[in-house]
Amino acid sequence: MDYHTPKSAWGAPPSYQASQSSAHVGRDISAEHESQPPPYHNWQDAVPDTTTFPPPPVTGHFCSGTGNALADDADRAHAFCDEVPLHRPVRPSRAVYSAVQSHDIRPVQPGEFHGGIDLISQGHWRGFTMDGNGDCLVSTHLPLYFAMEDSPFVTETSKTIYFEVKLLRLRAGPGAGSGDSSGLSIGFLAHPYPYWRSPGWERGSLGVFSDDGCRFVNDSWGGTDFTAAFGVGETVGLGMTIQLPENINSDQKDSKGKAKVDIFFTRNGQIAGGWDLHEEVDEQAGGVMGLEGDFDLYGAIGLFGGVDFEVIFKPEDLLWRPLRV
């Protein structure tokens, strides 16, 4: 209607019967043109069904809600990783490889570690850090995964590495009066790695943290929501299964491509989560180089503040039953 037309020219409103008649006319017209597209914007077709889309990118936190490392330590670690490349894998001697298969795993205690670790038995440690201990990392002295021996492109079968950590006690957090929580993380990494950083914070590493349950993969920020915080007395485990990618042919097996890597997490002997290493992540996330089965991988425990803990590699002492012998 022309809004400049005076109301006196509009005429009387249509009667009920007239409106019904118009409605019938409209239905007849629509019936005649039923196969034609509607004259308005069909958003149902323009916006596809999003239930068929892949999951959105995994996003992380800008910082941790329970405690954050010093910026100087992070800068020093980034410089270390920029200057020192990852070690190329080499074929281990029979004695070295046999030691790992028999779970004769020892801890490497760096200068940043202030505390002690005792060997309860082969493949079973008990340790502590002193109150206020800063961020540090204890690594296995040998890889749990040897790329030259265990790669699925060599063996044509999958390889799973796994270990557990029991949180015995938490005391004063790192630093004097910082207010940050004490805790630990469980993870894997490729060497060399800065020992003043927890696993998951730098290249070639991943880890899950006790204080907030977040997981980190080459992530110097706040991690990604994953599980609940670890309670004192709980035993958690972390594993990686490295296998040939799906739908691979014999020619591709010889090309030494990227393996399929799944990470799984246990709590008190039960599977409690996991993720695909090659999941889609946001653009600020670090890469996964060093974790794809083409480098040796070591077990690692990150520690901050005063913590009492146990570390278990020995199969008969593990709570996760599939690896018991």
Q: What is the pLDDT of residues 258-294, one digit of tens each?
A: 899 999 999 999 999 999 999 876 556 679 999 999 9
Q: Say whether pLDDT at 237 is over 70.
A: yes
Residues near 201 by beta carbon (within 8 Å), at least 6 away in sequence: 69, 74, 77, 207, 216, 218, 219, 220
Which band of pLDDT confidence, cut at 50, 70 and 90, is reported for residue 31?
Answer: very low
| Choice among 56-60, 117-121, 296-300 with the minimum mean pLDDT | 56-60
Q: 241 with 262: CB under 8 angstroms?
A: yes
If you average pLDDT over residues 104-116, what whole number do you get? 96
- Tokens 């929501």, residue located: 225
Query: Residue 183: phi, psi to the nearest 5?
Result: 170, -170
CA distance 187 to 45: 46
- Structural domains for the chain: 52-323 (2.60.120.920)
CA distance 104 to 164: 15
Q: What is the pLDDT of residues 152-193, one digit of tens each?
A: 999 999 999 999 999 999 999 987 655 688 999 999 999 999
pTM of structure: 0.77
**Which of 299, 289, 197, 294 has the alpha carbon at shortest distance from 238?**
299
